[in-house]
Amino acid sequence: MLKIGVLVSGNGSNLQSLLDNIDNGNIDGEICVVISDKSGAYGLERAQKYGIPTFSFDRNKYSNGEINKRILKLLKDMDISLVVLAGFLSILSPEMINEYKNAIINIHPSLIPSFCGPGFYGIKVHENAIKYGVKVSGCTVHYVDEGTDTGPIILQSPVEVSDYDTPESLQKKILKHEHILLPKAVKLICEGRLRIVGRKVYIDEEV
Ligand code: GRF
């Protein structure tokens, strides 16, 4: 069974969607550790309710380099083979990305390559989408490489933007899709059904 580590900075609703899908047997994997760069993150509490070990290295206390070093050591010590960024805001170091090449995934609340990259996080993503006037936004699960939101795309889910949507209402609508998309991607990885060829991710048929 795949050993999964989840990194969170906040509420952890995406983490919850993974916990639910593992609980109901949809994902054949195990979340062995949840780590945060924010000590009060609610995601940590969610994990603790399941008896999952949690760690936090607060951004107010540790430098980005130190956070990365400590997280990498934990992941290695615990023999984690898949790292899921579920609303994790710190930048990953080149060492981390190198050690976990094609083994780190992220969920982003837009259809990449729109409204992504440096500075596009949280509500800002949706503010920009509304301001631009797009009729469709959505969410993306992708592999993490050295860039920001630039790795090969695994899955995307479109969401219609109505004339009356505000950044907050759009965020809410997209989050619901995220809770389906992220578990779907993790399930595919646990089943060994993803193949990366250049920028493309191929999904193998179920056997
Ligand atoms: C989600 O919108 C995710 O796409 C983004 O950060 C947010 C995290 O939400 N990367 P939650 O903490 O999982 O509720």
> Mind listing the pLDDT tens digit for each residue in 169-207?
999 999 999 999 999 999 999 999 999 999 999 999 987
Confidence of residue 163 (pLDDT cuts 50, 70, 90): very high
Question: Does 138 sit in the ligand 1 pocket, CB within 6 Å?
Answer: no
Q: Which atom of ligand 1 is nearest to the CA of 88?
A: 10
pLDDT, residue 12, reads 98
Question: Does 178 sit in the ligand 1 pocket, CB within 6 Å?
Answer: yes
Question: Does 183 sit in the ligand 1 pocket, CB within 6 Å?
Answer: no
Q: Mutual orientation of helices 167-190 and 123-132 as an angle, nearest 10°? A: 120
Q: How far apart are CA 40 and CA 137, in angstroms?
A: 30
Beta-carbon neighbour count of residue 198 at 10 Å?
Answer: 6
Ligand 1 centroid from CA 179, angstroms = 9
- Pocket test residue of 45, 89, 175 for ligand 1, highest count of atoms within 8 A of CB: 175
Q: Which atom of ligand 1 is nearest to the CA of 107?
A: 4
Q: Which residues pair with 161 in a beta bridge?
A: none
Question: Does 68 sit in the ligand 1 pocket, CB within 6 Å?
Answer: no
List pLDDT tens digits, range 10-35. 999 999 999 999 999 999 999 999 99
Q: Which atom of ligand 1 is nearest to the CA of 13?
A: 14
Beta-carbon neighbour count of residue 157 at 10 Å?
Answer: 16
| Active-site residue flag, 142 | no
Question: Does 9 sit in the ligand 1 pocket, CB within 6 Å?
Answer: no
Q: Which residue minimizes the CA distance to atom 5 of ligand 1? A: 87
Q: Which residue minimizes the CA distance to atom 14 of ligand 1? A: 13
List pLDDT tens digits, range 85-126. 999 999 999 999 999 999 999 999 999 999 999 999 999 999
Spatial contact of 34 and 8, defined as CB atoms under 8 Å apart:
yes
Spatial contact of 71 and 36, defined as CB atoms under 8 Å apart:
no
